Amino acid sequence: MCGIVGILSTTKKDTAVSIYDALTILQHRGQDAAGIVTSHKGRFYMRKSNGLVKNVFKTKHMTKLLGDMGIGHVRYPTAGTSSGAEAQPLYVNSPYGIAFAHNGNLTNTKELAQELFEQDLRHINTNSDSEILLNVFASELAKLQKQRINEQDIFDSVKQVHKRVRGAYATIGMIPGYGIFGFRDPNGIRPLILGKRTTNDGTKYMLASESVALTALGYEITQDIKPGEAVVVDREGNVFVQQCAEKPKYSPCIFEFVYFARPDSVIDNISVYKTRLRMGERLAAKIHTEWSDEKIDVVIPIPDTSRVSALQLANELEVRYSEGLIKNRYIARTFIMPGQKLRKKSVRQKLSAIELEFKGKNVLLVDDSIVRGTTSEQIVKMARDAGAKKVFFASAAPAVRHPNVYGIDMASNKEFIAHNKSTEEVCHAIGADKLIYQDLDDLIWCVQQGNKNITEFDCSCFNGEYITGDITQQYLDDIETMRADSAKEKGSTNENSDLISNDVE
């Protein structure tokens, strides 16, 4: 999972600063690396490196990121490694010069890499599937052999990308002297949203992964880019949108609403906040039915993502809600850290318990989901150390039992605590007195209420059903080997990759 943003301004002011602000807002989507590329007088200016946005960009970098349009990226690595060489945006000089940022994960990477080498005669320099996607698009655009391009040329190239590429991809690109563009895979797995901001000086356009990146900067939401659609914004501020897929269908990733997206975002016209309220309501109803014999003294969320669901759950059960766990906000999200050892080390640094909220009480801990169980086990122990009489645990999402192949770091069955385990066995593994999961049908209902026109979601990490229809056991075995924690710890590196075009060091 990554965060992407693109801005084109007819005012020619503060484009890089606005991209920086948007990336900071999207920091929750990726904490491994960050990058910005801008365009000025036909040239690219780029800065990217491993680290958080605030650490990658200093004043000396920002003042050299010239131009009235640009794109930015925060990375959370799934395919590839944590090498700084794979930080985005990426760049190719032919045709025209294209800068590119990608959120998602391709599922036919090997075949595409071979095609690009043998048929398209293009060289791939990293292990990143984003570089492959960029080169497929660039190759299709080059086939048109036009000195000057227009929006239809981009749409025609995207049509060919959809025919060749499988998997999840929301992308933003930029061509110097022309404008910015974006497109979304035919299943709409990853989000992409368009907005504009009109001022006395002119109009700015923004594409971003989540609506909050636009609204926080004063942009009006224009539309969600639909599955298979592409959007082009040229230098004059003309906006063109076209459907480029033959058989598009809405199948957005349901885990966006469970965990990744901010609660103040609206994706595909679905409020993340309201979805999580409904998740709390449905989970409370299940607890009321199945745990009617248990007395719960206090409901405590595991910050931050579970807060909304936990508060509504407490209201429905008429049980006191308390912030009994305090989060150190200077520790990164443990779910997206690159190795199990680092996650285990970080949980105690990340959270601390307020003893008076636990001592002598039957406590219900609520989390958004349970994936590896590392955090859950340590927090249950933390609650017991703080004097809790009983520790119950509720997951606002179903049990995660299957790999996610569309851009979320859930690659290895063996790393899931629920793999080949019953609810009772997971409960014992994390040390809780009782454990309850949200039912998948209830979760789907909670999300679907926001947009009843969407009838299908990617729920593959819960039910093992892959909507692209191309996932084999051999593919799952391959990504397990490539993306398992053991491999990731070996492959992690602190290499930096700064400038591709003009040096902004």
Which residues carry out catalysis? 2
H helices present in 14-128, as ranges: 15-25, 53-56, 59-62, 109-118
Burial class (CB in 10 A: 0-12, 13-18, 19+), 126: middle
The helix (H) or strand (E) run that includes residue 203 is strand 202-208
Q: What is the DSSP pairing of strand 362-367 with strand 298-301?
A: parallel
Dump the DSSP string for 331-364.
Answer: S--GGGSS-HHHHHHHHHHHEEE-GGGTTTSEEE
The helix (H) or strand (E) run that includes residue 73 is strand 69-75
Query: Helix, strand or coil for residue 35?
Result: strand
Cross-strand pairs, 229? 243
Query: Helix, strand or coil for residue 71?
Result: strand
Dump the DSSP string for 434-475.
Answer: EEEE--HHHHHHHHHTT-TT----B-HHHH---TTS---HHH
Pairwise CA distance, residues 159 & 172, whole Å:
15
Closest to 10 (Cα-Cα) out of 324, 237, 332, 271? 237
Q: Which two tokens stand for residue 205?
A: 């356009």
Beta carbons within 10 angstroms of residue 461's beta carbon: 25
Q: Which two tokens stand for residue 457?
A: 């979601």
Strands (E) in 256-297, as ranges, are: 266-267, 270-271
Burial class (CB in 10 A: 0-12, 13-18, 19+), 304: middle
